[in-house]
Chain A
Amino acid sequence: MATEEMEQLVRREYTQGFVTDIESDTVPPGLDESVIAFISQKKGEPEWMLEWRLDAYRQWLKMKEPSWAHLNYPPIDYQAISYYSAPKKPEDRPQSLDEVDPKLLETYEKLGIPLHERAALAGVAVDAVFDSVSVTTTFKEKLAEAGVIFCSISEAIRDYPDLIKQYLGSVVPKGDNFFAALNSAVFTDGSFVFVPEGVTCPMELSTYFRINAANTGQFERTLIICEKQAQVSYLEGCTAPQRDENQLHAAIVELVALEDAYIKYSTVQNWYPGDEDGKGGIYNFVTKRADCRGDRSKVSWTQVETGSAITWKYPSCVLRGKDSVGEFYSVAVTNGRQQADTGTKMIHIGEGTKSTIVSKGISAGNSDQSYRGLVKIGPRARRARNFTQCDSLLIGDRSGAHTFPYQEIGNSTATVEHEATTSKIGEDQLFYCRQRGISEEDAVNMIVNGFCKDVFQELPMEFAVEAEALLNVTLEGAVG
C-alpha cells in the first residue's frame, strides 16, 4: 500500500479555505444586554422582539452548558466572541446580483457555486447568508406569485410580525437548551419560509451559509411554516474559510407542518474541521426540530455531515398529528480529530404516527463519532411505528464509533425496531475490487458510497452529486 501517498492525501489542506477581504461591521467581543440591544437595533427590530431576545438572554444566564455529549473540547469563553458582524453598510444592501460586491461573488466562484449560474441553471432561489446579513434573494417574485414567502428572518420580523409572533420559538422554545437560549438572544440572520395552504413551492429553496469574519460566531435562525397541504423542499449547504480560532456556531431550525403538509429539509455541512491536530475547526451546536402539528403531515430530515471540529446536532420530529410521519436520513463522516455527537429524536404523540431513522456513520483517523437517538412512544400513540437503523464504519484503529439509542415505549400497539452494526470495511470486499484492477482508494470510495446509498437516495439530485464528491474528498487517504 502506498502509505506515503495516503498520508499526503490525508494531510491535504482544506480546499475551500480562503478568506474574502470584506470590511465587517463588528461589535467588540462580549455579551451583555447592550450587545443584544445593539443587534436588535441594527436589524431595525420592533420593541417586542428586543424584549423576546432579552428574555432568552436572561434564561441563558441561568443555564449550564450541557456536558452529557460524548465530546471533548476546551471550555468556550462566551465573552470572547463577537456577536455581530455584517458586511459593510447594511443599509446599502444590493438589490440585485449585479450590485453584489464583486469580492463576494468571487467567494462563490471559488466555492464552485456561482450564484447567477446556479440560480439560472438549477432554478434555485438563493438566499445567500454572507456572515450575518442576507445579501441577496433571487426569484423572490416568482415565489411571491405562488404566494410563498422566502426572505431573511430579519425581514420577516419587520414585514410579517404576526407570523413571527405566532411561530417563532413555538417549536424550539427560548429556554429549550443552553445553545437554543443563546441563539434566541443573539441570532442575527437566517431564513424564513412560509408556504400558504395548498401551495406546492414551485422550486427548491436553498440558502448557502458562510462564516467569514474571524472570531464571530454565526447564529442563524431558520423558520419554515407549511400550511395545510403545502409542500416545500429546502436545501442548506455550508462551507467556511480556514481560520485558526475556533468559531462557534449555534443555529436553530424550526419547522412547522400543518395538516397534510410536507417539508423536506436537506443539509450538506462541510465546515472547516480543524487542522491535523484538531485546531481551528468550527464548533457546531445546532438545535433542529420539526413540529408535525397537523394530521398526515410529514417532515423529512436528510443530512450529510462532513465538516466541523465538533458537531452537536439532533434534528428531531415531534409527531403530534394523527398519522404524521417523521424521517431522518443521515450520513456523518469524521476524519482527523473531528468529533460528532449526532442523531435524532422522534417523539410519537399522535395515533398511527410513523418514523424512520437511517443513520450511517463513518469514522476515520483519530475521530470519534456517536449516534444518540431517542424514540419515544407516548401512551396515546396507538399503532405507532418506528424503524431505526444505525450503522457505523470504522476506518483506522484510532477512530471510535458509539451508539446511544434511547427507546421509551409506553404503548403495547407500537412496533419499534432498532438495529445497529459496527464494523470495518470488509477485507473481502476490498480484495474483490482490487483483483478487478480498482485502486484501493477507489474501492474504499465505492464501498463507502454503497454503505451510504440509502441516505444519498433521499437527497435532492444536485445535492447527492455534491455529497458523494464531498465524501470522497473527506475520506481520501483515510485507509492505510
Chain B
Amino acid sequence: MSAAQAFLDRLEERVADRRNVSGEAEPSWIAARRQAGAARFEALGFPTRRDEAWKYTDVRRISEGDFGLATNADFSRSTAAALGLPIDAIRLSFVDGLFSAELSDLADLPAGVTIEPLSQALQANHEAVGGSLGRLTGVDFSPFAALNTAFAEEGAVVRIAPGAVVDTPIVIQFLSRANAQPVMSHPRVLIEAGARSQATVVEHYVGEEKAANFTNVVGEVLLERGAILEHYILQEAPLGDSHVASLHIDQGRDSRFTSFNINLGGALVRNDLVADLNAEGAEANYYGLFFAQGRQHVDNHTLVNHNAPHTFSNENYKGILGDRARGVFNGKVIVKRDSQKIEAHQSNANLLLSDRAEIDTKPELEIYADDVKCSHGATTGQLDEDAVFALRTRGIDEQTARGLLTLAFAGEVMEQVTLDTVAERVERTVAGKLPERFNLSDLVEVSSESGADSAARSSS
C-alpha cells in the first residue's frame, strides 16, 4: 500500500501548506469530507486488474508515479491561445488544476449564468456549494473519486438559472504544463441546470506537448425539470498525461442530456460516465469517439440507470486503434424494476488499424422490467474492402481511400456534434493522426475551406 501512502503523505503536506498560507482552517465540513475521502482511498488503495471495473486497465502509470502539486498558474498567453478552442465562448481556465484568471474570460456573462472557480465559490458562500458537491459522486464510487475528494480544492461551478437559454458555449479549459516534476490535479466540475434552461458546456483538456501530469476530475451535473444540456469532453491531453475522469448526471423530468466524449490524447485515459434518469421523460444521449495510437490506453465506462418509466437512452461509441494502442469500452444499461416503457439502445463499433492494437468491449444490459425495448451491438473489424474497392474504381488511390473511410467511420459520431469548431478540430486531428501514408490533413483542410467559401457565397 506504499503507492497509496505516498499520495496520502502528499495530501498532508498540502493541507499543512494551505493552513500556513491562509492562516485559518478550512470549514469543518470540507475538512471532514477530505478526511472521509482519504480514509476511503486508504482502505481501497489503487484499483488492480483483479477489480472487475479495472479488468483491462492497469493504473500503475499513476500509482507508481511521483506527482507534486502545482503552486502557481503561470501559462503563456500565446500558447494558451494556440491550444485553446478558437470559439467565441465564456471561458474558465485552469492550469495544472489551479485557476487562471488571466486566461479566463468571464466578462459579460449572459443573464442567468453564474460561473465561478470552486475556490471562489467556497470563499463567497461555502454552504451554498456544500449541498450539491459530492452529492452524486461519493467517495465510494471509485478509489479515484475518493482521492479526488481528499485533494479537491479547485474546479468549476456553473449554474444556469431556470428558464435561461445560453447560446454562447461555456468552455472549461484544463491546461497541462510541461513541468520539471510532473504534477497531479484533482479538479471538480459542478453544473446545475435550472428548470427549462438550455446550455452547452465544453470540458477541454489540452496541454504542452512534453507534459506528463495526472489529472483526476470528478464532474457532477444536475438537470432539473425540462433542462437541456449538451456536454462535451474534448480530451486532447498531451501524450504523456494520465487522465482519469468521472461524470455523474442526475436527470429530472423531461430533461435531456447529450454527451460527446471525444478522446484523442493522453497515455492512460479512463472515463466514467453515469446518468441517472430519475423521472419520466428524461433522455440521455451518449456519443463517443476515441482514437488511440502508439501505446495509448483509452478506457471508457458508461452507465445509464433507468430509474423511472418512460425514459430513453441512446449510445453510440466509436473507437479507432492503431499501433499498440489499447481501447476498452464498457457500456452498461440498467433498467430498474417497474421502470416500464423504456427504450435503451447502445452501440459500439471499433476499427483496428494494426495487428498489435487491442480492443476489449463489453456492452452490458441489466434489465428488471418487461415492457422495454433494449438493444446493444458491438462490432470490431477492419475497413470494408468492398468500400475501398468502390473508391478505387473511381480513381482514388488506395491510401486515400482508406483514409477517407476511416474518417467516415469517425464521421458517424461527429455528425451529431453541433459545435462546428469542435467537429472540424476533431476531424482535422483524426486525419492528422492517421498513418503518414493516409496523408489526409490537406484534404480536410481544403474541404473545410471550400465549405467555408461556399457558405460565404451563399450568404452573400
Contact = CB atoms under 8 A, between A and B. Distances in A.
A416 B373 CA distance: 24
A406 B374 CA distance: 18
* CB-CB nearest 5 A-B residue pairs: A412-B352, A394-B370, A415-B381, A422-B374, A410-B358
A200 interface: no
The interface size bin for chain B is: 35 or more
B366 A409 contact: no
B357 interface: yes
Contact of A416 (B354, B366, B367, B379): B379
Q: Which residue of B337, B352, B380 has the most chain A CB atoms within 10 A of its CB atom?
A: B380
B377 interface: yes
Contacts of A404: 362, 364
A88 B87 CA distance: 86
B370 A407 contact: no
A115 to B, nearest CB: 42
Contacts of B371: 397, 424
Interface string A413-428: 1111111111110000
A400 interface: yes
Interface of B: 52, 56, 337-338, 340, 350, 352-382
Contacts of A414: 352, 380-381
A408 interface: yes
Given A407-B361, A408-B360, A415 B382 contact: yes
Given A410-B356, A416-B379, 9 more contacts: A402-B367, A404-B364, A409-B352, A409-B359, A409-B360, A417-B377, A417-B378, A420-B375, A422-B372
Contacts of A412: 352-355, 357, 382
Nearest to B356: A379
B358 A409 contact: yes
Contact of A421 (B366, B375, B378): B375
Contacts, number: 116
A419 B364 CA distance: 11
B356 A420 contact: no
A423 B379 contact: no
Nearest to A410: B358
Contact of A408 (B358, B372, B375, B377): B358
Contacts of A382: 355
A395 interface: yes
A396 interface: yes
Contact of B381 (A68, A399, A416): A416
Nearest to B56: A408
A411 B370 contact: no
A398 interface: yes
A406 B356 CA distance: 19
A132 interface: no
A391 B364 CA distance: 13
A392 B338 CA distance: 18
Contacts of A398: 337
Given A422-B374, A424-B371, A407 B359 contact: yes
A348 B362 CA distance: 17
A367 to B, nearest CB: 11
Contacts of A455: none
25 contacts: A382-B355, A396-B370, A400-B367, A401-B367, A404-B362, A405-B378, A406-B362, A408-B360, A409-B350, A409-B352, A409-B361, A411-B355, A412-B354, A412-B357, A415-B379, A415-B381, A416-B379, A416-B380, A417-B378, A417-B381, A418-B361, A418-B376, A420-B365, A420-B377, A422-B375
Nearest to A408: B360
B374 A400 contact: no
A70 to B, nearest CB: 8
B319 to A, nearest CB: 11
Interface in A408-465: 408-424
B420 to A, nearest CB: 32
Contacts of A70: 366
A216 interface: no
A191 interface: no
Nearest to A424: B370
B387 to A, nearest CB: 14
A150 B369 CA distance: 47
A379 B381 contact: no
Nearest to B330: A406
Q: Which residue of A395, A407, A415, A422 has the most chain B CB atoms within 10 A of its CB atom?
A: A422
A422 B367 contact: yes
A382 B354 CA distance: 12
The interface size bin for chain A is: 35 or more
A409 B377 CA distance: 15
Contact of B363 (A394, A395, A408, A418): A418
A403 interface: yes
A408 B329 CA distance: 10
Contacts of A408: 56, 358-360
Nearest to A364: B370
A421 to B, nearest CB: 4
Nearest to B360: A408
Contacts of B367: 392, 394, 400-402, 422
A474 B364 CA distance: 27
Q: Which residue of A68, A398, A412, A421 has the most chain B CB atoms within 10 A of its CB atom?
A: A412
B302 to A, nearest CB: 15
Nearest to B381: A415
B366 A400 contact: yes
Contacts of A405: 362-364, 378
Given A402-B367, A412-B353, A418-B363, A407 B372 contact: no
B363 A397 contact: no
Contacts of B365: 392, 401-403, 420, 422
Nearest to A70: B366
Q: Which residue of A379, A382, A396 has the most chain B CB atoms within 10 A of its CB atom?
A: A379
A399 B362 contact: no
A367 B337 CA distance: 13
A20 B403 CA distance: 71
Contacts of B353: 412
A431 to B, nearest CB: 15
Given A411-B355, A418-B379, A397 B362 contact: no
A420 B337 CA distance: 20
Contacts of B56: 408
A407 B375 contact: no
A407 B378 contact: yes
Contacts of A400: 366-368
Nearest to A369: B367
B426 to A, nearest CB: 23
Interface in A355-410: 379, 382, 392, 394-410
B146 to A, nearest CB: 23
A415 B380 contact: yes
A414 B372 CA distance: 33
A373 to B, nearest CB: 10
A421 B374 contact: yes
A70 B367 CA distance: 12
Nearest to A418: B378
Contacts of A410: 356-358
Contacts of B359: 407-409
Contacts of A421: 374-375
B366 to A, nearest CB: 5
Contacts of A416: 378-381
Contacts of B376: 403, 418-420
A68 B378 contact: no
A411 B355 CA distance: 5
Contact of B377 (A394, A396, A418, A422): A418
Q: Which residue of B340, B360, B366 has the most chain A CB atoms within 10 A of its CB atom?
A: B366
